Structure 1
Amino acid sequence: MAKRYSLEETLDFILDQSDSEEGPENTEPDSPEDFTTDTEDEISIPISANFPESVVDNLPADISTGIYYGWARVDNGDIHKMVMSIGWNPYYKNTKKSMETHVIHTFKEDFYGRILSVAMVGYIRPERGFKSLDELIAAIHSDIEEVKIKLDLPEHLKLKEQHFLKTPVSTTANQILNGHRL
């Protein structure tokens, strides 16, 4: 069985990845296409954010592929529910592992080039292949509905108030968060 990471362990890992003398690696996508799913129009799921390969490559080796859920915030905006896929997207036969987050909120515009903060608080299911696009779409919508219910539970609502998601985000490399240079 894969190890489950506490919120503090997850946040420490993320912060450790950005702890360098030169500030963080530039994690902004090179183009809007890098920030949204290639299949957005095909599967009718609103905009999602793909984390850069450098983030995915530095995930703990024993983190399971599959569907996670938690909280997300774009820049210094409101905190919203999110669902995240970590894995190979077998329906599309991806050759690289990806980490894709769908913020469950209707934004007036895309959030390309903005800072996305996420806190993973739970795991829904392992990654799996689908025989058809319709089966994949149904699973995505089912995952979103399950997440909406789970994140309304008191034990998950309290995690929405964690310091990590409440700390103002700066786009300067000199900001310090919990003792780590961002």
Structure 2
Amino acid sequence: MSNKKILMIVGDYVEDYEAMVPYQMLQMVGHQVDTVCPDKSAGDSVATAIHDFEGDQTYSEKPGHRFAVTANFADVDAATYDALVIPGGRAPEYLRMNADVLKIVQHFDSASKPIAAICHGAQILAAAGVLKDRQCSCYPAVSFEVTAGGGTYIEPAVTMDSAHVQGNLVTAPAWPAHPAWMRAFIDLLAE
């Protein structure tokens, strides 16, 4: 497997595990991962939130850690990256309103480069218009955005630990799916 250059788009209140775990896993297998956030530069950080499944009607939210931004968003040239990762959490609700974020996602999709999105990350995919006639797994509360964006919602296993692959798109419902989600994404990177 040749090492790839991967872009990860984050924002304040990105889900802690959904940013940190893939960041570390992808580096562990030799890939370069640049993390970026609109209006932030290398050396800045974003606040994270920890979402947990504790038997309530939806996930609970707790304060997370600071997550480092490693590259300047303003300098991103999507053409220089091999793949894209979009974590979930609350950040996607406002990142999807950033025209530059949407252009980046559209570049990766039109170039058929691997895209890994998890949980609420599907909100960005839908806003970018890349889900039409595509299948997408996500956190169940985001299924409306998937179908409104012309996609087909893939319901996760009860344990939220499944991933779905269609072409260059690897999606998953939440952080319990990390093993399946990252395994599928790493396999796609190796093709």
- Normalising by structure 1, we get a TM-score of 0.27
Between Structure 1 and Structure 2, which shows a larger proportion of helix residues?
A: 2
Q: TM-score, normalised by structure 2?
A: 0.26
- Pick 1 or 2: higher relative contact order, CA cutoff 8 A, min separation 6: 1
- Could you say which structure has the larger radius of gyration? 1
